[in-house]
Amino acid sequence: MKSDQAGARSAVFTPVDTQARVDAVVRRLGDAIELGLLVEGEQLPGEADLAGRLGVSTVTLREALMALRQQGFVTTRRGRGGGSFVTLPEGPAHGRLHTRLADWSTEELRDLGDHWAAVSGAAARLAAQRTEPGDLVQLWRTLDGLTVADGPAARSRIHGRLHVELAAAAQSARLTREEVGIQREAGALLGLVLADADAHKDLCERHRNVISAVQDGADDKARTAAEGCVLMSVTRLIELRIA
């Protein structure tokens, strides 16, 4: 679990690959803070270093940091020991996530769903083929954690971890990196879905079916169930975005 968290955290500081670079940096860092990958009080890398890691110019990075300061995600201190530090904005996370969801178009969400379903479905199918029942102990523990988790922030973090662990169970480094990237990009938004008690219960049951199918070696059933988890989540996000 620690290695999954470290992998997700390191993926925060990889190049963004979109035209709207300022928005992409704001979304990347803001979601990482909401997910707890970057913690309150943590100092971000220096501007030149951070711009280099994200593959953007320092001008673009400064614009993004300015937007993050306005949203309350970053505080900048001057002088010795200064720099940009992670902060948590005042007010409920639910409201912040609705604001972040508004940055996504319905087309972008559908495209996310297509990609995520393909990755998770392939991971579940391969996990069913390549694992033994004893290999799934951590997945079951994480699902138990998701079942009892209280609050959308905790639920979204554990939900993201569950998907990364499923990809790791497929024994595919590429699929695991893809899943980490998806969680880094949009995992925080799942807090909006998981905040609803019925949706939370439904997703827990759906994931239970995925792991059961993996454990039974039913690769097609595992793939279909994993795709269903993703499509249910993204469909709900699209409904919230339209509303």
**Kind of pairing, strands 74-77 and 83-86?**
antiparallel
pLDDT at 4 over 60: no
- C-alpha span between 121 and 220 (Å, rounded): 9
Query: pLDDT digit string (tens) for 158-186?
Result: 999 899 999 999 999 899 989 988 887 88
pLDDT at 30 over 80: yes
CATH number of 2-90: 1.10.10.10
The HSE-up count of residue 142 (CA atoms within 13 Å, CB side) is: 21
Query: Quick one: average pLDDT of 93-100?
Result: 81
The predicted model scores a pTM of 0.72
pLDDT band at 11 (very low <50, low <70, confident <90, very high): low
Q: Which two tokens stand for residue 20?
A: 């709207």
- C-alpha span between 120 and 128 (Å, rounded): 12
The CATH architecture annotation of domain 97-242 reads Up-down Bundle (1.20)
Domain boundaries, the chain: 2-90, 97-242
